[in-house]
Structure 1
Amino acid sequence: MIGFYGDIVFETSDSRILTFSELQRSTASRWAKHEVIGKKPTSEFIGPDLDTISFTVNLNGQYGVHPRDEMNRWLIKARNGNAEKLVIGNKILGIDKWVVKSVSQAWGIIMSKGELVTGKVDIELEEYVERL
């Protein structure tokens, strides 16, 4: 097992390959700008902003996955708005949970009767903080 997001397990085995690529994590801070007459504004650090993570899941029916089903699983997660842990290896990424902020599908090879053989899903997660 490579890791998981909620109930979606990233793995490579003899019967199934479901992995991601191009994982990027972004961290930012929040700043307020206070206007001062006749001078440059002053900056005030407010605190950290929410982190984001993006990655691509490549899907290939020849490797034991059903691309259309996997795409739908990500769509459901985006529409439900549930916060879940992202684990890579045996380590949790981030301090808190993550929500699926956006999902973008690219359909590759489509066979007769509409069977999707290959495709990819671009995922964007945003950190979810439960406490105030």
Structure 2
Amino acid sequence: MGKLGSFGSLSFVVSSNTIRTFEKLQWDVGASYATHDRHMMPDLLEFLGPDPETINLPIKFSVFLGTNPIQEVERLRAMIRSGTVERLVLGGHVYGDYKWAITKMSAELKTFDNRGNCWAANTTLSLKEYARR
């Protein structure tokens, strides 16, 4: 089994039985500035500091890829509701300066069988930088 990385207990893996990975990763980094008006001159910008970084991570779950979509969605939901903060590690590289919190999850339950069991789900996790205290 090839383990690509993890976010706490959520492991990103690719094997002959299971595929639990993401499609892309969008990492946003920004900073805050104050604008000071000046008479007859261009406004002056003042750097206030970095904004918390964010990451958006789309993940597909499917019974055809060896996962149970509802169990995966419920596990992520529990992580959000308990305020879990973890390191994001991909390919041995730790992303960000410290840890991340899942601030939001969008889950699109896609395919169901004739008994109402979910066979496929598309989720998008929104992570926000959790700064060291």
Report TM bin, short chain: over 0.9
How far apart, CA to CA, are the structure 1 residues paired with 2:126 and 2:31?
19
Please give the residue correspondences for 1:24-103 in structure 2 after superposition, counting only pairs within 5 Å. Answer: 24-36=26-38, 39-103=41-105
How far apart, CA to CA, are the structure 2 residues paired with 1:81 and 1:36?
44
Structure 1 partner of 2:115: 113
**Counterpart AA for 1:46:** L
How far apart, CA to CA, are the structure 1 residues paired with 2:99 and 2:92?
15
TM-score for both structures, normalised by structure 2: 0.91
TM-score for both structures, normalised by structure 1: 0.92
Larger fraction in strand: 2
How far apart, CA to CA, are the structure 2 residues paired with 1:4 and 1:95?
16
How many residues align? The count is 131
What CA RMSD, in Å, does the superposition of the two structures yield over aligned residues?
Answer: 1.3
How far apart, CA to CA, are the structure 2 residues paired with 1:22 and 1:103?
15
How far apart, CA to CA, are the structure 1 residues paired with 2:96 and 2:77?
23
How far apart, CA to CA, are the structure 1 residues paired with 2:65 and 2:132?
37
Alignment of 1:13 with 2:15, yes or no, is yes
TM superposition shift of 1:34: 2.4
**Structure 2 residue runs without a partner (length 5+):** none
**Structure 1 residue runs without a partner (length 5+):** none
TM superposition shift of 1:40: 4.4
- The percent identity for this pair of structures is 28
